[in-house]
Structure 1
Amino acid sequence: MRGLLTRALAWSAALVGVFLVAGAGCLLVWSAADRAASDDRHDVTTVAAVLAVTTDPDAVRGALARTAAGAEGRLAVHLPDGTTIGVGRGAGDLTYMSTVDDSRAAVEVSSPAPLSADLTIQLAVLLLLALLAFVAALLVGRRALNPVLRALRALADAATDLAHRDGNVRIRVTGPPELTALASAINAAADRTERLLAKEREMIADVSHRLRTPLTALRLDADAIGGGPVADRIRSAVTTLGHDVDRIIESLHPVPASSETGDCDVVEVVKTRMGFWSAHAEDQGRPCEVDLPYEPTPVLLSPDALGAVVDALLENVFHHTPPRSALTVAVVRHAGWITLTVEDGGPGIADPERALHRGSSGGGSTGLGLDIARAAAEATGGTIHVERGRLGGARIRLRLGEANSHHEPAVPRAWRLWRGRA
C-alpha cells in the first residue's frame, strides 16, 4: 500500500509539474518573441530617423552598428540607388520609408534565433524549479499520508491477529473516518462471530451436560436390575453413552457466562428439580435435606439456566459420592444475595482450584458442572465458593445477585476458594 500511494502521489505531482512547466515555458517564449519584435521595431525607427536626415552610406552604416539587430547582423538598408548596407538575407521583413531626398528606401529585419541565451537560462531555471517542486511535493505528500499508512498497517496487523492468532483482539484505529468506520465494522463482525460461537459451544455444552441427568437415572436403574446378560448390555450401553458425552464435553472450550435473558425464582426452580433428585436419593438410601425460605428469591437467570445449574451440582454429588452419602440443598436470601448451597457427605474435593477449571478437575470429572455453576453466578454478579462442609464432604455455595437489588458486586467476581478444615 505504501508503494501504491507513493506511485500515485509521484504521478500526480509529475502531471501537475508538466502542465505548469509547459504553460510557463510557452509564456516565456511568447514574452521573449514579443520583446524581440518590439526591439526590432525600435531599431527600424532609429534607422528611419537617420535616413530622414541623410543617405550617406557611412552615416547609415554607423546607425546600423548602434542598433541591437544591426550588431547581430539581422538589419540591412536598401538605398534608392540599389546599394545595400548591412546584411540582407532576403527573407526578412521589409519596411519602406522616405529618405531626405523624398526617395524610397527599404529596411530589412531578419527574425532572431528561436532560443536566445537569456531564454535558454530562463527555461533551465524553470525546469530546475519544477524538479525541486516535484521532490518537495513527494516529501510533503508522504508526510501527509503517514497517518493513513499507519492506520492501514495497524488495521492489517490487527485483522491478521484476529483471523489467525487471537480471536479476542480488537482493532483500534485513529485516522481517516473511512478507516475508522471499517475498523468498527470489523470489530462488530468479530464480536458477533464470537458471540455466535460462544452460544453454539454453550448450547452444546448444556445439552451434553443435561444428558448426564437421565444417564445418571439410567445408571441407577441399571444397577438396580441385578445380574444377567440383559442387565450387562444395558449397563454397557449406559457406560458407552456416558463416555461419548464426556468426549463431547471435553472437546469444548470454556465459554463465557450465559447470555440468556429472563428471571426466575430460585426456590421454585430448586423445588421442581428436587422432585426428580429426591426420588433418586431415596432409591440410593441417601439422606436428603432441603431447606428453602418462604420469601421470593428472584434472580436474573432463566429457569432453564438455573435448572441446569442445579442439575449439574446434584449430578456431581450422585456421580462422585458413595450411594448412602447424605445430601443437603439450601437456599438463603440476605442483603441482596441469594445463596444456593449444595453439600454432601462424600470424600470432598481435594483440589478446589483445579475443580473449577473445565477439563482438568480430575477424579474422572470433566469439570463442566462447576463451570456451568460459576458462569451462572458470574452472570448475576456473584461468586462460587468451594469448601468443606459440616457433613464432611464438599460444599458448593453459589452467591447469586438478587434481581432488582442495588448491592455491590462481589469481589473477586469469578470465584473464591475455601479449603476449610480437614
Structure 2
Amino acid sequence: MRSLLTRALRWSATLVGVVLVVGAGALLVAADRSRAAADDRHEVTTVAAVLSVTTDPDAVRSALARTAAGAQGRLAVHLPDGTTIGAGRGSVSSTGEGLTPVSTVDGRRAVVEVSSPAPVVTAGLVARLAALVLLACAAVVAAVALGRRVLAPAMRALRTMADTAEEIAHGDRRVRIRADGPPELTALATAINAAADRTERLLAKEREMIADVSHRLRTPLTALRLDADAIGAGPVADRIRSAVTALEHDVDRIIESLHPVATSTEPGSCDVAEVVGARMGFWSAHAEDQGRPCEVDLPVEPTPVLLSADALGAVVDALLENVFHHTPPRTAVTVAVVKHAGWVTLVVEDGGPGIADPERALHRGASGGGSTGLGLDIARAAAEATGGTIHVERGRLGGARIRLRFGEAHSHHAPASPRAWRLWRGRA
C-alpha cells in the first residue's frame, strides 16, 4: 500500500509539474517574442531619428551598426536616392511587412527595413527554461515527501489493521484492531472489531449449545447401553453395544473439542482404505439386516491422506447414513477406494432415486429429505481440506454416485482441476 500511494503521489505531482512547466515555458517564449518585436520597433525608431537629422550614408551606416538588429544584419535603410545601406531586399518604393516608411531631413521618403524577426530561442531563454524544469523537479520531490508525511497516519493505521488481521488469521481471535488514524479508518476498525465481537459471542453460544446437547445425549445413551446389556449375547446386541460405544466416543470428543486447550492445529493422517474397511464392518452388517446388497472394493496398497481417522470416519458414516436413510431397503450400495496419480478417490454409489438438486444438497444445512443437511457438506469440507474435490453424478446402479477425491499425503502434484463441483441434476 505504501508503494502504491507513493507511485500515485509521484505520478500526480509529475503531471502537475509537466502542465506547469509547459504553460510557463509557453508564456516565457511569448514574452521573449514580444520583447524582441518591441526591441526591433525601438531600433527602427532610433534609425528614423537619425534620418530626420541627416541622410549621410556614413552617419546612417554608423547608426545601423550601433543597433542590435543592424549588427545581426537584419536592419537596412533605403535612402530617397535609391541607395540601400545594410542587408535588405526592398526599395524606397516598397511596402509590406517589415518595411517602415520615414521622413528624412529634407522631407523626402526613406524606408527602414527589418528583413527578419529577432530570434526567439536565445541563451537566456534556454537558461530560464532549464531553471524552470529544475524547479519543477524539486517541487515534485517536495510534493511526494509532503504527501507521504500527510498520509503517514493513514499508513500506520492500515499497517496496524494488516498486522491485526495476520494475528487473527494465525488463530488469535481475541486480538482487536486499535482504532486510530483518519476518521474513515477508525470507523472501519470499529466496525471490524464489532463484527469480531459478535462472531466471538456466536461461537461461544454455539459451543455452549453443543456442550448442552452433548451432555443431554449421555442420558439416552446410558439407557441404550443398559437395554443392550439386558438383551444378552448375540450379534444384534453386539452391534447395538458397538453403536452405543461409538456414539459415546463421539460425544466425548465433541465435549473435549469445546475446550480451547484441547484443540490442535495438526491435521493428522490416516489410511483411507483402513478407515473405510473399519467403518464398513458396521455398515455391511446393517445392510445385511435390511437385505441390501453391499459391495466393498478396497486396494491393497497404502492410501495415506492428511486427514485424521475420526474425520474420515465421519465422512464415511455421513455418506452411508444418507444412503440408508434416503433409499428403500434392499437397494444396492457399493463403496470403493481407488488410488491414482497422487489422488485417493472414495466412491459411494447406490441404486436409489438419486439426488434431485445436487447443488443445493452440497450446501450446509440444506436438505430435501428431512435430514440435517450436513452429510455432503461434511464430505466436501474434508475433501477440500486435502486439496481435493467432490463430485455428484449418476452412477452405474442408476442412483447417485458421490465421488470424493483426496489429495494423497506427501504428494507434490498440481491439482488437475480447480476446486469446483461437477453437479448432476438427476431425477427426484
**TM-score scaled to structure 2, two decimals?**
0.54
**Cα pair distance change 1:250/1:59, threshold 3 Å:** same
Letter matched to residue 74 of structure 2: R
Larger Rg: 1
Shift of 1:163: 2.7
Deviates more, 1:240-249 or 1:184-193: 240-249
The CA distance in 1 between the partners of 2:242 and 2:35, in whole Å, is: 113
Are the equivalent residues in 2 in contact too, given 1:208–1:249 (CA < 8 A)?
yes
Letter matched to residue 109 of structure 2: R
SS of 1:165's equivalent in the other structure is coil
The CA distance in 2 between the partners of 1:18 and 1:29, in whole Å, is: 16
Among 243, 249, 274, the alignment partner of 1:243 is 249
User: Does 2:102 correspond to 1:97?
Assistant: yes
User: Does 2:171 correspond to 1:165?
Assistant: yes
Are the equivalent residues in 1 in contact too, given 2:32–2:120 (CA < 8 A)?
no
Are the equivalent residues in 1 in contact too, given 2:79–2:110 (CA < 8 A)?
yes
User: Does 2:246 correspond to 1:229?
Assistant: no
* Partner in structure 2 of residue 73 of structure 1: 73
**Cα pair distance change 1:42/1:241, threshold 3 Å:** closer
The CA distance in 2 between the partners of 1:75 and 1:192, in whole Å, is: 90
Among 99, 109, 122, the alignment partner of 2:128 is 122
Paired residues for 1:30-45 under 5 Å: 30-45=30-45
The CA distance in 1 between the partners of 2:243 and 2:153, in whole Å, is: 65
Question: How much identity, in percent, do the aligned residues show?
Answer: 72
Paired residues for 1:250-269 under 5 Å: 250-254=256-260
* Partner in structure 1 of residue 322 of structure 2: none
Are the equivalent residues in 2 in contact too, given 1:95–1:107 (CA < 8 A)?
yes
The CA distance in 2 between the partners of 1:240 and 1:29, in whole Å, is: 93
Paired residues for 1:335-374 under 5 Å: none
The CA distance in 2 between the partners of 1:51 and 1:88, in whole Å, is: 17
Shift of 1:218: 6.1
* Partner in structure 1 of residue 217 of structure 2: 211
Shift of 1:215: 4.5
The CA distance in 2 between the partners of 1:97 and 1:125, in whole Å, is: 42
Paired residues for 1:377-388 under 5 Å: none
Among 85, 92, 106, the alignment partner of 2:111 is 106
Shift of 1:62: 1.2
The CA distance in 1 between the partners of 2:76 and 2:223, in whole Å, is: 129
Are the equivalent residues in 2 in contact too, given 1:222–1:235 (CA < 8 A)?
no
Are the equivalent residues in 2 in contact too, given 1:92–1:111 (CA < 8 A)?
no
* Partner in structure 2 of residue 26 of structure 1: 26
Shift of 1:89: 5.2
**TM-score scaled to structure 1, two decimals?**
0.55
* Partner in structure 2 of residue 182 of structure 1: 188
Among 173, 195, 198, the alignment partner of 2:201 is 195
* Partner in structure 2 of residue 135 of structure 1: 141
Are the equivalent residues in 1 in contact too, given 2:36–2:120 (CA < 8 A)?
no
SS of 2:170's equivalent in the other structure is helix
SS of 2:210's equivalent in the other structure is helix
Q: Deviations over 1:351-396 (max 9, x none)?
A: xxxxxxxxxxxxxxxxxxxxxxxxxxxxxxxxxxxxxxxxxxxxxx
User: Does 2:159 correspond to 1:153?
Assistant: yes
Stretches of structure 1 lacking an aligned partner (at least 5 in a row): 256-422
The CA distance in 2 between the partners of 1:236 and 1:107, in whole Å, is: 125
SS of 2:175's equivalent in the other structure is coil
**Cα pair distance change 1:105/1:247, threshold 3 Å:** same
User: Does 2:16 correspond to 1:46?
Assistant: no
The CA distance in 2 between the partners of 1:98 and 1:6, in whole Å, is: 68
SS of 1:182's equivalent in the other structure is helix
**Cα pair distance change 1:167/1:76, threshold 3 Å:** same
The CA distance in 1 between the partners of 2:231 and 2:67, in whole Å, is: 138
Letter matched to residue 206 of structure 2: E
Shift of 1:87: 2.1
Letter matched to residue 151 of structure 1: A
Letter matched to residue 60 of structure 2: V
**Cα pair distance change 1:236/1:11, threshold 3 Å:** closer
Q: Deviations over 1:174-229 (max 9, x none)?
A: 2122222222222222222222222112101111112234445666x659x87843
* Partner in structure 2 of residue 372 of structure 1: none
Letter matched to residue 131 of structure 1: C
Paired residues for 1:306-321 under 5 Å: none
**Cα pair distance change 1:235/1:137, threshold 3 Å:** closer
Letter matched to residue 169 of structure 2: A
Shift of 1:31: 1.4
Are the equivalent residues in 2 in contact too, given 1:76–1:84 (CA < 8 A)?
yes
**Cα pair distance change 1:237/1:152, threshold 3 Å:** closer
Letter matched to residue 210 of structure 1: R
Stretches of structure 2 lacking an aligned partner (at least 5 in a row): 91-95, 262-428
The CA distance in 2 between the partners of 1:165 and 1:248, in whole Å, is: 20
User: Root-mean-square deviation (CA), in Å?
Assistant: 2.7
The CA distance in 1 between the partners of 2:134 and 2:243, in whole Å, is: 91
